Amino acid sequence: MCDGGGACFAVLVALVAVLIGGGLIVVDVDVTPLSSKLGSLLPQPAVPVADGKEMIVKNSDVRAYLASKSLAGPMTQHPLYAEKFPVKGVYYFDKMGSAGVVDFSYLQNWNPEVGTFELDMQYTICQTGVPSNTTSGGWGPYLPGGYMLKAIVALSYQNQFSCGAADRMPMQDGDSCTLSESIFGASHESDTLGKMGMAWLMTKREGGRVFDRNSWLAPPWATNDASYRSSHAPFHNYRLRRLVDEHKALDEEHYEMLMNKLAGQERFMQDASDAVNRDVRLKIRASQRCWDGTGFKVVAKVGQRYLSIWAGENAEYVLGVESRDDARPNHGGGLYVCRTPMAAVRHRIPARRGGLFVAPRVMMRCICEGPFVEYVAGKIACTKIRPIEVLPMPEGYMHSAPGAAAVRPLPERPVSAAELGRRPRSGLRAETAALEDEVAELERRLGYR
């Protein structure tokens, strides 16, 4: 028995997928119009608001948004990006329900030697409603984009692409990237969904103007290998169509197709402010794509108080009470959170004088408001945060995520003790001194001194 309707539905969907993937069920009836209609009846989650404005892009502003915001991600700064990176541009999801647009300059952790890189699906732009045009929406899911993005955040959903080493680039038409998916922070090496019979390929077409995305789900008695995939149709497929190429040129044909998907008609609405047109907007979580405004912050717990690990007593957080600090670029201001609990756990906070590096730690779940400034690894500077829940840190958590120790080069010649004495104090010794000061201060507060 299932404990809840959602669990029962998930089990039913998985069972039907296995039966279809195994060829035991042949679907000849197009149920997408019904799915679209039912999805449109669902109540839409509230649109996040920053400084009194909804964080969305109207139809009439999509062209300007693509022109001004495309290809601004960190991947474009990689020295091998222009010559060797396999997927460049901004693409929209054709036949993928309310999923909207993805900018591949926000891919992360590219390893040119083996050809792997990762996409945090929170960088996906979603529609507010569901596509009324089922030709563009495909099989769905026909859920309002707000529900899709909440699921992405809750699952910590990420994709890893494996497209081949840099010396094999560029990809040719017909070449494919294999994909693995990660949920709940699991490593891609664990390949949990792959072990359940799932396999995904993304195949290059038309010189990269289109990528086919095909998914196979094999039944337990079959192996989902190349032989299986060549003899069985994909369980699910959609296309990524390029909107903006690496030179920031807009593909007018694909742009019109996107607007048709959003509006359900050939031209896009000039005024998307009334209830009739609200479904045809692209939803933007500020610059954070599909982020629902929930952030996670690791703080120091001293007695019954929650204090900043970095700023110490200069910044205190209280449940239900809003804190504000204007977010500015280059770490010039803001209240820092991470998108997911796992990102917050991995985030390293350096020691400093006046901070609380060695104090006990907890995690606070916060409601965040902009303006925002986004940094790498899921870190976001918010202008306002309101803590709503205190969560324990994971078992075995240490004060910073494990990382490679710094390697210091040997001197070119022997160094005397007198020369060492003339050298400035190293950053390591400075950090040690800060920790000693902090321990002494904690002992004073706790009455040991």
DSSP secondary structure string, 198-255?
A: EEEEEEEEGGGTEEEEEEEE--TTS--SHHHHHHS--SEEEEEEEEE-TT--B-HHHH
Between CA 323 and CA 297 the distance in angstroms is: 13
Of all residues in the chain, what percent are helix, strand and coil, respectively (each to 5)? 30, 25, 40
Look at phi and psi of residue 354 and say left if phi exceeds 0, alpha if psi is from -120 to 50, else beta. left
Between CA 277 and CA 271 the distance in angstroms is: 8
What are the distances in angstroms from CA 391 to CA 22, 130, 298, 345, 361?
43, 34, 9, 12, 10
Q: Is the peptide bond before 141 cis (omega within 30 degrees of 0)?
A: yes
End-to-end CA distance of the chain: 59
Give 355's contacts (C-beta < 8 A, 6+ positions apart).
308, 309, 310, 311, 312, 349, 434, 438
Pairing outcome for strands 158-162 and 116-120: antiparallel
Asked if residue 235 lies in contact with residue 20, where contact means CB atoms within 8 angstroms, the answer is: yes
Give 216's contacts (C-beta < 8 A, 6+ positions apart).
21, 198, 199, 200, 224, 228, 229, 232, 234, 235
Closest CA to 104 of 78, 138, 136, 131: 78
DSSP secondary structure string, 41-72?
A: HSPPPPPPEETTEESEE-GGGHHHHHHHHTT-
Between CA 316 and CA 154 the distance in angstroms is: 27
Per-10-residue mean pLDDT of the chain, 449 residues long, equals 40 46 48 66 66 70 89 88 92 88 88 88 79 66 76 82 86 93 76 82 96 91 90 90 96 91 45 30 41 88 92 92 88 89 85 84 92 80 93 73 42 50 47 57 52
Q: What is the pLDDT of residue 324?
A: 93
What are the distances in angstroms from CA 262 to CA 54, 100, 124, 210, 265?
18, 9, 15, 19, 8
Look at phi and psi of residue 344 and say left if phi exceeds 0, alpha if psi is from -120 to 50, else beta. alpha
Q: What is the pLDDT of residue 109?
A: 84
- Two structure tokens written together for 112: 């040119």
Between CA 328 and CA 248 the distance in angstroms is: 27
The helix/strand/coil state of 189 is helix
Q: What is the pLDDT of residue 263?
A: 64
What H or E segment, with its residue span, contains residue 323?
A: strand 323-324
Between CA 309 and CA 295 the distance in angstroms is: 16
Q: What is the pLDDT of residue 87?
A: 93
Asked if residue 116 lies in contact with residue 85, where contact means CB atoms within 8 angstroms, the answer is: no
Counted residue by residue, the chain has a size of: 449
CA 16 from centroid of its chain's CA atoms: 29
Between CA 106 and CA 88 the distance in angstroms is: 10
Q: What is the pLDDT of residue 91?
A: 96
- Two structure tokens written together for 146: 């707000």
Between CA 200 and CA 234 the distance in angstroms is: 9
